[in-house]
Structure formats: structure tokens, C-alpha cells
Amino acid sequence: MAHNSAFDASFLVAEYARAGWPLGLTQDMTLCTMRLAGQFGAPAKLGACCAHGGL
């Protein structure tokens, strides 16, 4: 789970590869709160999304 998981997943894959450890992580394997926010009428920015949800 991540806010903008596409970015986080690609970052982790690149960093693991740089360390010589292949990581078979894809965006399909993540839960993106930024995408979910749009489905529930919440703003996409993390702070605004949290405020919208009362966090």
C-alpha cells in the first residue's frame, strides 16, 4: 500500500536492481491510495486526501 504506488514500485525495483537483487514487484501487486482517492471523490494529494478522510 502506498500513495502513488506506481512511483514507489518503480523506485524500489530500480534500487534493488542497483544493489544486484532483482525484485519482481509490479504496480498490479500494490494498492494505490492515490487511485482509490479518485474513486471515492477525495483529492489526490496525500495531505488533502488524509484531511478529506478525517486523518
pTM tops 0.75, yes or no: no
CB 44 within 8 A of CB 34: yes
How far apart are alpha carbons 34 and 5 in whole angstroms?
Answer: 8
d(C-alpha 4, C-alpha 8), whole Å: 7
The predicted-structure confidence for 5-52, as pLDDT tens digits, reads as follows 999 999 999 999 999 999 999 888 999 999 999 898 899 888 898 899
- What is the model's pLDDT at position 27? 83
Handedness of CA 41, 43, 47, 52 (dihedral sign): negative
